[in-house]
Amino acid sequence: MLENIQSTTNYIKSRIGDFEPEVGIILGTGLGALVNEIEVEKQMMYSNIPDFPISTLEFHSGKLIFGTLAGKKVVAMQGRLHYYEGYTMQQITFPVRVMKMLGIKTLLVSNASGALNPSYKKGDLMIIEDHINLQPDNPLLGRNEDALGPRFPDMSQPYKWNLIDKGLDIAMSNKITCHKGVYVAVTGPNLETRAEYKYLRIIGGDAVGMSTVPEVIVANHMGLPVFAISVLTDEGFPEILKPVSVEEIIAVAQQAEPKMTLILKNLIAGL
C-alpha cells in the first residue's frame, strides 16, 4: 500500500508542480458546489490518477481540484467514495493518504446525513463532535504501515475541539442554525427502518450517514486534525417517519449548502 500511495503522490506532484496544499476537503453528497469558491489552478479526474478509485455515483463528479480558497492552498475531492459502492475501506481512504503525502495539515469533511435528534430539523447543520462506527470493516485492518501511523491510534479526540469551537462561533455570528452532535456511520445504501432509527438514537446518535468515519479513522492514524460537518437532509424520527428519495436528499443538501460553505470558508481563513 505504501508504494501505491507514494507512486500516486509522485504522479500528482508531476502534474501540479510546486503547488503544496495546506488543507484537504472532502465534499459529500449534493455538496460539491464549494469548488465554485475555489480559485482553481489544476483539476484532475479520478479516472486519470493511477490507483485512484472512481466514484460510481452519478451525482458525484469524481474530480480532484487544486486551488486557493480563503487565502489558503487547498485540494478538494469533488465526489467521495462509499463502502456500499463495493470498495474496500483501504480504497475509500486511499485519497486521504495521498492528500496527507501531498502536504495537507488539516482535513475538512462534509456529508449529508439524517437527523436522529428530535430537536434537529431538516436543513439544519451539525458539526460532528464524535462518532459511533457501525460499519462492518475498518481501514486499518491488516499489517500496519508504521511510516503512516501507529498500530493502535488513539481516538479520544477524532474531531479537533478547537476547530469545533471555531465552527460553532462562525455559525453563531452568522445566525446559522448549527448543532454539535454524534454521527453514526452505517453501511447503506438503504435508508433505515423505524426500529433502526429508534435504536441509533438510543445508543447516542444525533445523525446517521453512510460515510465520513473511514476517512476520519485514517486521518487520525496519520496525525491529521479533522473538522467534519453534516447537512441534515431528512428526519429519521420513528413516530412520524415518511418515505424519502435520494432526489429529495440532494435537493435539501443543495439548499443548505451556502450555509455550510460560509462556515468552511471562514474556518479555512482562520487556520
- In the structure grid, which three cell numbers stand for residue 77, read together? 475531492
pLDDT beneath 50, residues of the chain: none
Parallel, antiparallel, or unpaired: how do β-strands 39-45 and 63-69 relate?
antiparallel
- 64-100 pLDDT, tens digit per residue, is 999 999 999 999 999 889 999 999 999 999 999 999 9
| Residue spans per domain, the chain | 2-269
> Comparing C-alpha atoms, which of 254, 262, 121, 125 is closest to residue 181?
125
Give the model's pLDDT for residue 187. Answer: 97
Q: Which three cell numbers stand for residue 125?
A: 447543520
How many Å is the Cα radius of gyration of the chain? 18
The whole-number pLDDT of residue 31 equals: 81
**Amino acid 207: pLDDT:** 98
| Residue 33 pLDDT | 83
Cis (ω within 30 of 0) for the bond into 50?
A: no
**pLDDT for the residue numbered 37:** 93
CA–CA gap between residue 71 and residue 84 (Å, rounded): 36
pLDDT for position 127? 98
In 3D, which of 236, 270, 268, 271 has the Cα closest to residue 34?
268
Please give the pLDDT value at position 157.
96
- Output the pLDDT for position 58: 53
CB 229 within 8 A of CB 25: no
Could you please state the CATH topology (level 3) that the domain comprising 2-269 is classified under.
Rossmann fold (3.40.50)
